[in-house]
Amino acid sequence: MMLLIVFSVGAFGIPGMFPVGGISTPGVNTSSPMGWLNVLWHLVLPCTTLVLIYLADYALVMRSSLIDERKQEYLTLARAKGLRDAMVRKRHAVPNALLPTVTLIFLSLGFVVTGAITVETVFSWPGLGLLTYEALRGPDIPLLQAIFLMFSIAVIIANLIAELLYVVFDPRVRS
């Protein structure tokens, strides 16, 4: 709501720069290149809202994982072999510290969906989030069941992808 108030309506001396809601400006042909730019312009605040919510969480998890990894003996051995600290961090510490962050990213997709419900409702952006909100107001139970089934399938697929990515990030999992 604060992004909407400050950057759409204008507050604290900042003029309103972005549209208040909707997917495009009425009367704009969204199939033309100018229409695509208009849709992207309408997408700035909703995307910024979702990114700001989750980026801080991911950064904190990655930071704490790196702090934990720096105390490992294999990093001390790599430094003793003469590798520079930046190279030790890049080749050894970051890939191992990335595992909890990858898990968090894919596990939080369920929360991204609920965040999308809020963001789509606030910014009047048509999508599954707004459809869920309208079905809840109805109440349209069969539609809600179908939406929740789709959300559940999406979370299960995201968790499967996270498990498959472990093989890429962690060589210990390959064996």
**Per-residue model confidence as pLDDT tens digits over 69-82:** 887 888 878 888 88
Separation of alpha carbons 83 and 72, rounded Å: 15
Find the domain containing 121 and state its range: 2-174
Phi–psi pair at 166, nearest 5 degrees: -60, -35
Q: Is the pLDDT of residue 131 over 70?
A: yes
Phi–psi pair at 19, nearest 5 degrees: -70, 155
Asked if 128 contacts 59 with a C-beta cutoff of 8 angstroms, the reply is no
Which percentage of the chain shows pLDDT scores above 70?
A: 95
Asked if 96 contacts 69 with a C-beta cutoff of 8 angstroms, the reply is yes
Instruction: Say what the pTM is.
Output: 0.62
Number of domains in the chain: 1
